[in-house]
Amino acid sequence: MNILEQILEVKRKEMDKMVESVGIVEPFETLSLKDVLSSDEISVIAEIKMKSPSEGDILPNADPVQIAKNYEAAGAAAISVLTDEQFFGGHIDILESVKKAVSIPVLRKDFIIDGHQIMEAGAVGADAFLLIAEALDDRDISTLINFGKELNLEALVEFHSEENAEIVSEIAPDIVGVNCRDLKSMTTDISYFERMAPRLPSGSIKVAESGIKTSDDLKYVSDLGYDAVLVGTSLMKTGNPGKALESLIGGLS
């Protein structure tokens, strides 16, 4: 059982415990992640991640709200917040606090398998949410994208494996993410972005995820035609994520 399968097993148990929501689904007031990633320059989604299965504790006792403010000041187009508690040290309350502190879109990054998680995201202020192709079948992906649209939340649909590149391309989500982390070995390989670039839907915003560490990496994926990157671990590991993001973006000029 790989780490994703372990996480999904926990998520299913969490969903079993979640109280069923009742009432009419009302759209939330949100900012558009797609719009802010549509800049002529490559955009950065900066991530708040306390720990991970591959890294262990990344930045213990960090202040997520201050990090979020620093990210925005450093030029982040959007902020991603890990809300999984058991494996990533996150919490939905962190996302809520972050959203109140910044004026840019906030993405809920979690292992979303149920519409209740999207409703929960919207209720605490999220503007968008992550869907992982390896965690869902194509029908579930489309269903959750459409449910998000009903709530006025956008989906970033990512894939890790080549087998899912075709599925995601056929769905052609507004925002597609290529994650270069191998879910079996948990290693990253940024050359994967080049191999996948020709297989991405032409009309989608394209996001390169994981493995981005330097301004040269940023330029590399920009030259491949990606519109944005999602960067977390390499920023958080420095101990001063905002300053690290400033250096990352500044290195392009």
pLDDT in tens, 196-209: 999 999 999 999 99
Integer CA distances (angstroms), 33 to 18, 80, 169, in order: 28, 11, 19
Concerning whether 162 is annotated as a catalytic residue, the answer is no
Which is catalytic among the residues 72, 96, 120, 158? 158
Which is catalytic among the residues 80, 96, 209, 234? 209
Concerning whether 21 is annotated as a catalytic residue, the answer is no
On the question of pLDDT at 21 being above 80, the answer is no
Q: Are 175 and 205 in contact (CB under 8 A)?
A: yes
Domains contained in the chain, CATH given: 3-14+33-250 (3.20.20.70)
Quote the CA–CA distance of 240 and 78 in Å, as a whole number.
Answer: 18
Concerning whether 152 is annotated as a catalytic residue, the answer is no
Q: Are 151 and 130 in contact (CB under 8 A)?
A: no
> Of 92, 93, 179, 105, nearest to 135 (Cα)?
179
Concerning whether 213 is annotated as a catalytic residue, the answer is no
Which is catalytic among the residues 47, 96, 120, 154? 47
Concerning whether 240 is annotated as a catalytic residue, the answer is no
| pLDDT of 53 | 86
pLDDT tier at 127, thresholds 50, 70, 90: very high
* 166-223 confidence digits (pLDDT tens): 999 999 999 999 999 988 888 999 999 999 999 999 999 999 999 999 999 999 999 9
On the question of pLDDT at 161 being above 50, the answer is yes
Q: Are 61 and 236 in contact (CB under 8 A)?
A: no
Please tell me the pTM assigned to this model: 0.95
